[in-house]
Amino acid sequence: MTRFSVGTFSPVADGVFVAVAEPAAVNIGLVVGPSGALVIDTGSSPAQGAEIRASAEAFAGVPVVGVLVTHWHYDHFFGLAGLAGVPSWGHEGLASWLGRPEAAEAAAELGVDVAELGTPVHTFSLARVLDAGGRRVEALHFGPGHTDTDVMAYVPGANVIFTGDLLESAGPPSFGPDSHLKDWPSAVDGILGLVDEDTVLVPGHGPVMDRMAGFQQRAEISAVYGQAEYLVRQGVRQEQAYERGEWPFDEATVRAALPLAYAELAAAGLVPRTQLPLV
Ligand SMILES: [Zn+2]
């Protein structure tokens, strides 16, 4: 039985708060303006989305006037229907994921009916300015990375960036079949290009990060693809790659990333070839 819960909102900057929603320990953002608040990510089910809305309004003392989804994964997206009637935003690719087996599988595991999930009313491909009750929030898509629907949210006055799962501090980044390994570092570069030494980065999961932590994780993600490319050029096949490589992450994380790395390299024409001994 999946255990759903929403924690209390804690401040990360002036008028910007984060609560953790289970079962996925996902960070739910709240940007409070003079006349309303914006929720960032929606939790794992419509019921949880409704709970987040109620909790945010009780906490902030203003209505929730907007909600932004950072990417299609269930723990960020599946609560959206619980905020019905609230103007919603997300990447234009979000809706198509609900029709795919990955979403159906995640919904079945949670005991959620995929037909009851909502999609954002407003979508965008690159950038959108959102109004958090009189406070400006900018949502940007820097290309595919963790998924092809990643958007980050920048709160200029507070110097806070919600990164979605492009960055994580609860553990290593989450590599899946829907990730874009080679492009991921460039998407993080989009975020890192906006930060200064005081910027607060709110990852999809885990405590807030600073600029240095962001740069380090960017380098580690990049190193996974780089190492895989090196191994392929050495003729090392995917099955041997973990043992033969030097990796910045734990075994399970690397093993999740390797099929992706090898598939992307193969698509670029790079496949391991047996090296014939020189005569
Ligand atoms: Zn994710």
pLDDT tens, 172-202? Answer: 999 999 999 999 999 999 999 999 999 999 9
- Check residue 2 and give its pLDDT: 75
**Token pair belonging to 87:** 């103007």
From CA 173, how far away is CA 257, in angstroms rounded?
Answer: 10
Residue 23: cis peptide before it, omega within 30 degrees of 0: yes
Is residue 64 in a domain?
A: yes
Q: How many CA atoms lie within 13 A of 214 on its CB side?
A: 29
Ligand 1 mean position, distance from CA 276 (Å): 42
User: 135 lies in a domain?
Assistant: yes
Rounded Cα gap, residues 141 and 69, in angstroms: 12
Identify whether 237 is part of a domain.
Answer: no
Q: How confident is the model at residue 273 (pLDDT cuts 50, 70, 90)?
A: confident
Which residues in 146-238 belong to E strands, given as ranges? 152-155, 160-164, 200-203
Rounded distance from Cα 201 to ligand 1 centre (Å): 16
CB 154 within 8 A of CB 161: yes
Q: 3-state class of 156 per DSSP? A: helix
* Average pLDDT value for residue range 204-212: 98
What CATH number has the domain bearing residue 37?
3.60.15.10
**Span from the CA of 177 to the centroid of ligand 1 (angstroms):** 11
Q: Specify the number of domains making up the chain.
A: 1
Residue 162: inside a domain, yes or no? yes
Whole-number Å distance, alpha carbon 22 to ligand 1 midpoint, is 14
Q: 54 is in which domain, residue-wise?
A: 5-211
Q: For position 1, what pLDDT does the model report? A: 62
Closest CA relative to residue 204, chosen from 43, 78, 4? 43
Residue ranges near ligand 1 (ion) with Cβ within 5 Å: 73, 165
pLDDT tens string 26-77: 999 999 999 999 999 999 999 999 999 999 999 999 999 999 999 999 999 9
94-102 — which CB contacts under 8 Å span 24+ positions?
Answer: 94/69, 94/119, 94/120, 94/123, 94/149, 95/119, 95/120, 95/123, 97/72, 97/149, 98/72, 102/177, 102/178
* 79 CA distance to ligand 1 middle (Å): 14
pTM for this predicted structure:
0.96
**CA 24 to ligand 1 center in whole angstroms:** 10
pLDDT the model gives residue 180: 98
255: confidence class by pLDDT, cuts 50, 70, 90: very high
Indicate if the pLDDT at residue 110 is higher than 90.
yes
* Domain contains 262: no
**Does a structural domain hold residue 255?**
no
Q: For all residues of the chain together, what is the average pLDDT?
A: 96
Check whether 259 has a pLDDT greater than 60.
yes
